[in-house]
Structures are given as C-alpha cells and as structure tokens.
Chains A and B, each alone.
Chain A
Amino acid sequence: GAVVSQHPSRVICKSGTSVKIECRSLDFQATTMFWYRQFPKQSLMLMATSNEGSKATYEQGVEKDKFLINHASLTLSTLTVTSAHPEDSSFYICSASGRGSTDTQYFGPGTRLTVL
C-alpha cells in the first residue's frame, strides 16, 4: 500500500517555542492531506483538511493561527505548532489521499509532541 511518513517521530520543546512537523507521501501524489490529534487512550480528532495549493480548512475550535498548515506540494504538508504550551502536548497524525482513491486515506506513523 501507499506510504506516508512523518518527521520527526518525537519532539520535546520548551514552552513558547514553535515546532514544525512534516508529512510526506512517498509513492503517490496526495491531493488532500488531513491532520489529526490523538489524546491518550482516545480517538483521533480532525484538526484540519488541506488541499494542495489551497488554504487549509480548520475544524471548529482549532486555532488556525496556532496550528499553521501548509500544503505546498503534492507530496508534502507541514503542521507548525506556534508558541507551544504544555496543553499542546499530544500525538499528531497526518493522513493523505490521492486522485482516484478519495475514500482511502493512508496514515503516517504520528509525531509525539511534548512541551515542557
């Protein structure tokens, strides 16, 4: 199946700093990418949807100025957590879907963010 990678897999940062997480589709063109957040022992909550070359669409309650999403190419999307605080500590997961298979999403392995 298609492969989606995320980098870094883990990151620890100080409160107030910004962190960038990359999501790449390695063997297909991802026309749409999704960013989810997963709290411990809970389900995935959709944060935003991004289409290549367009502004991301954020879910209600997600601060777009805090969680900056860029989807500049068909293989790369980035999520930047700006001025991170301890409450932003979580597991962030991206997924991607391509042309012709819009009902199938391929998930990255996730990024564990810890804000001290």
Chain B
Amino acid sequence: GDSVTQMEGPVTLSEEAFLTINCTYTATGYPSLFWYVQYPGEGLQLLLKATKADDKGSNKGFEATYRKETTSFHLEKGSVQVSDSAVYFCALLKGTGRRALTFGSGTRLQVQP
C-alpha cells in the first residue's frame, strides 16, 4: 500500500540555520505530495504542495521539489526562525481512488534563539 516515510525528530536547530527534513514515499501511479505544518495547540495547515514530477512547491521560505526518480519530497528552508518551531508532516494523495491523505509520522522542529 501507499506509505510516507519521514526522518525522525526532534530536529533542533539554532535560529538562521539551514533546514532539511527528508521525506520519501511509496505509491503506485502519480500521487500529489504535500507538506503540512502543525503549530503547538493548532490544527494542520497546508504549507506547500506539488502535483507532478519536478514541480517545486514553495511558501513562507520553505521549498520542496517532487523527485520521481528518488521518490522524495524533502522540505528545505535556508534560514529558520523560532516561529518555525512546529511539527511537519509529509503526505501524499493518490490521483485516483480514495481521496484521503496518507501521512508520514511527522517531524518535530525546535528552533532555538
């Protein structure tokens, strides 16, 4: 079945450090890929998405590129802020059939001043 694998956290960085959170997926067909963010005490928010190979999703300084050859969708940010501290979830959505998201396990990011 479909699955999403994320690097385990927590990831602890200093402010202005470079961030990479790895995400790989297993799915048949051509899924859409997403990053969601969950701030403390809040619900999930869509951060960015990509719907086909080589697409780059970007938002709020975060970027991720849909790499079909490596089945990856790694999240990056050049300079993190304390306000980026949250849990980040990678997810996929199949192009056909059940329209529910399959989530990775989530990666907690802690940014220290």
- Residues in B with CB closer than 8 Å to A97 are 99
Tell me whether A103 and B103 are in contact (CB under 8 A).
no
- Residues in A with CB closer than 8 Å to B89 are 43-44
- Residues in B with CB closer than 8 Å to A104 are 46, 49
Given contacts A43-B106, A103-B93, contact A49 B44 (CB under 8 A): no
Q: Give the residue among A1, A44, A105 with the most B Cβ atoms within 10 A.
A: A44
Interface size bracket, B side: 20 to 34
Task: For residue B28, give the distance in angstroms from its CB to the closest CB of chain A.
Answer: 17
Would you call A107 an interface residue if the criterion is a C-beta within 8 Å of the partner chain's C-beta atoms?
yes
Given contacts A103-B32, A104-B46, contact A43 B103 (CB under 8 A): yes
Interface size bracket, A side: 20 to 34
Bound together, the chains give a CA A108 to CA B44 distance in angstroms of 7
Bound together, the chains give a CA A55 to CA B89 distance in angstroms of 29
- Residues in B with CB closer than 8 Å to A32 are 99
- What residues make up the interface of A, taking CB atoms closer than 8 Å to B? 1, 4, 6, 32, 34, 41-44, 46, 49, 57, 93, 95, 97, 102-110
- What residues make up the interface of B, taking CB atoms closer than 8 Å to A? 32, 36, 42-46, 49, 51, 89, 93, 98-106, 108
